[in-house]
Chain A
Amino acid sequence: MIQLEHLTKEYNGVRAVNDLTADIPDGEIFGLLGPNGAGKSTTILMLVGLIEPTAGRCLIAGLDVAREPLKVKQQIGYMPEDVGFYATLSASENLSYFGKLYGMGPKECRERSGDLLHLVGLDGVTKDVGGYSKGMRQRLGLAKALLNDPKVIILDEPTANLDPQGVADYRRIIKGVAKEGKTVVVSSHILEEVSRVSTMIGILSAGRLVAQGSWKDLARDLSTKAGAEVTLLIETRDPLPEIVHPDIVSADYERDRYRAVIVARSDIRDSIAESLALQGIRLRGLSREGLTLEETFLSYYQAEG
């Protein structure tokens, strides 16, 4: 659905996005991760057609964003990081105005606005948007992004101002639209949030896409690249034999040998489980206690320099 081909953007000679190439299939929730200044927002602005790439191109549903911006914009729904609306209009009036820009008729605008405001929990609010909290504006932003029933939904830091209920609603809505076959791109620096909704991850660092793949593969890969150690807890119903593996750094067996803590250079749980099964040792539990998600990424960025 979305193809980025050698996408590059320079501001005054400084490369904000550098030769970015990626392919995001239909129905995926693609999490674009990276620290502040990594190029996430610039990439999204190019995807939405608000800025033109210095080099390369973005294709959405086979259409070049720079060459056919109106056709592309008809198929995307976008919510920027600091989502802004017309303060003197109500939520419904704001949505109706944007609906007209999509070519929707008054009745369609009214019905669609009503449904979406109900979906994001703003259906009972009649005051002007100027009186909204940041969280309410973000909820309205999500409704706006879904207004034209888009094939592609692009969200920049969508949960930054949401309360826990808002975050839960957001996750439910995003997973729901992905099930309908829509492609979602979510840019965020909140790793936990991205890990909860994304089916694919792309990691940007200094304008470059340094990693891309499914969340599990990527986490394993990152741990290895970052040189992070993994702590494994093994519990068995039979006494443990000595476990040998080249990645093992240290092993600490309890006296009765029904429990052990192993520190390894990679996640070797599969290998351990297989070896114990071959020896007829019955497992009670095999869990990983290694780095948190955040620690993994920090290790990765530190390793990248």
Chain B
Amino acid sequence: MARNGLITIAEKELFDHLRSRKFLLIFGILLVVAIVGMIGGITEYNKALDSYNKHQSTIDSPLSSYMAEKPSILSVFSSVATYLIFVGGILGIAMGFDLVSKEKESKSLKILLSHPVYRDEVINGKALGGIAALAGALFVVLFIALATLLIYGIVPDGNELVLIGVFALVSFLLIFSYFAVALFMSTVMDESGTALIYTIIIFILLSVLVPTLANDTVMETVVGEHPELPQELLDQMQKSVDTNATESSAIVVSFANKGTDSGGAWDAYNERMQAYWEKRQMVRDTFALFSPTMNYESITSMITSGSAGRSLVMSTGGNTATAFSVASTGDAGVEDILAKIAANLVALLLFPAIFFGLAYVRFMRLDVR
């Protein structure tokens, strides 16, 4: 009895993807944006590094030592992450929206299921073929990204390589999430066009609408406005900034300034601020559970900032995000970062699993007439 159905189907699906014009076209776009994003990221990184070096050589205030952090190599992936949200999502959708519906339309599903294969081998084989194609595409992108780094003379260390690996994994999970949604729609709908439209609606809902619900205005309605900085601390900060002008575009504020006369006020403010942001983050995390895009943004902003201090994305709907480090610890260990992204990572794993599960159940009950 033949029991090689899963592998045979997965193999065919993989080669179908690799020979498909739409896959090659979107993969090509993905490669271009990855290279462009990497080059842009490397340029920004080099600027930030120069700025940091200059800043380090002009330190003359205890407060100013907290005003700049050494930029992380991972920050070069920041632009790639922004592009991947859209191009990756579209790639996932393009690969999945007609996997089953096309077979219904061409009547090949009836022929396929009349062969000695279980139905779960068919749906699992299709998913496996898609996963292999996605993984292959991302591997090529990652390889080119690393090659670009090396060409520019940037050599990541072991920890950074691990984080680049995590970045690749979550990028894969993001694309696989939309692939799973598309696959589900493909099993539900009889026509590929309809499946595509519904998948795009879900994509827009999850990548635009849900993040919009978690934006500043909505968030302030739910959580309230953030605590105001006491005037005496503002004055002190202003004085420090005036005397330590820096070219760095990122303003990172440390609330753990224990060495000043206003330490008590800082501590109190710090506690209020931390409680506020944690509440805000909890609300955002709740929204994010339903949106692979938001989870991806959270994880990649944590990885690319290279800090385990909680980075709070204040503007989630657009491309610009202000990192607001609550408790900066400088260059954090990989374990710290992994611990911080664990919840988002689990959510990003669960999302495609749920949609693939739905597609599986639907396909197993599909009425083939």
Contacts and interface: CB of A to CB of B under 8 A. Distances in A.
A249 interface: no
- Give the contact-size bracket for chain A: 20 to 34
Contacts of A74: 1-2, 116
B108 A84 contact: yes
Contacts of A53: none
Given A86-B106, A101-B2, A101-B4, 9 more contacts: A41-B369, A51-B368, A70-B117, A73-B115, A73-B116, A80-B107, A80-B111, A85-B108, A101-B117
Contacts of A42: 369
B365 to A, nearest CB: 11
Interface in B72-93: none
Contact of A84 (B4, B19, B106): B106
B110 A84 contact: yes
Contacts of A78: 111, 114
A89 to B, nearest CB: 9
Interface in A64-117: 69-71, 73-74, 76, 78, 80, 82-88, 97-98, 100-103
B12 interface: yes
Given A84-B111, A97-B12, A70 B116 contact: yes
A239 to B, nearest CB: 63
B61 interface: no
Contact of A83 (B103, B107, B117, B369): B107
Nearest to B8: A100
Contact of A103 (B2, B16, B367): B2
A48 interface: yes
A69 B113 CA distance: 10
A45 B368 contact: yes
Contacts of A41: 369
Given A71-B1, A101-B5, A85 B116 contact: no
A80 B110 contact: yes
B139 interface: no
A250 B111 CA distance: 55
Interface string B336-369: 0000000000000000000000000000000111
Given A51-B367, A70-B116, A101-B8, A88 B111 contact: no
A40 interface: no
A45 to B, nearest CB: 7
Listed from nearest, the 10 A-B pairs whose CB atoms lie closest are A84-B107, A103-B2, A101-B115, A84-B108, A73-B116, A78-B114, A84-B106, A70-B116, A100-B8, A82-B107
Contacts of A70: 1-2, 116-118
Contact of A87 (B5, B106, B115, B367): B106
Contacts of B2: 70, 74, 101-103
B196 to A, nearest CB: 18
Contacts of B114: 48-50, 73, 76, 78, 80
- Give the contact-size bracket for chain B: 20 to 34
5 contacts: A70-B1, A70-B118, A84-B106, A84-B107, A86-B108
Interface centre among B8, B113, B114 (most CB of A within 10 A): B114
A83 B111 contact: yes
A51 B369 contact: yes
Contacts of A48: 114
A104 B103 CA distance: 23
A38 to B, nearest CB: 15
Contacts of A71: 1, 116
A139 interface: no
Interface centre among B4, B9, B108, B117 (most CB of A within 10 A): B108
B106 A101 contact: no
Contact of A97 (B4, B8, B107, B118): B8
B192 to A, nearest CB: 13
A28 to B, nearest CB: 21
Contacts of B9: 101
Contacts of B4: 100-101, 103
Contacts of A144: 111
Interface string B96-129: 0000000100111111111111100000000000
A184 to B, nearest CB: 16
B91 to A, nearest CB: 19
B305 to A, nearest CB: 45
Given A45-B369, A50-B368, A70-B116, A85 B1 contact: no
Given A74-B1, A100-B8, A50 B118 contact: no
A161 to B, nearest CB: 13
A42 B367 CA distance: 12
Contacts of A85: 106, 108, 111
Nearest to B5: A101
A41 to B, nearest CB: 8
Contacts of B112: 101
B107 A88 contact: no
B290 to A, nearest CB: 35
B25 to A, nearest CB: 16
A225 to B, nearest CB: 32
A16 to B, nearest CB: 10
Contacts of A141: 111
Given A50-B368, A88-B19, A103-B1, A98 B115 contact: yes
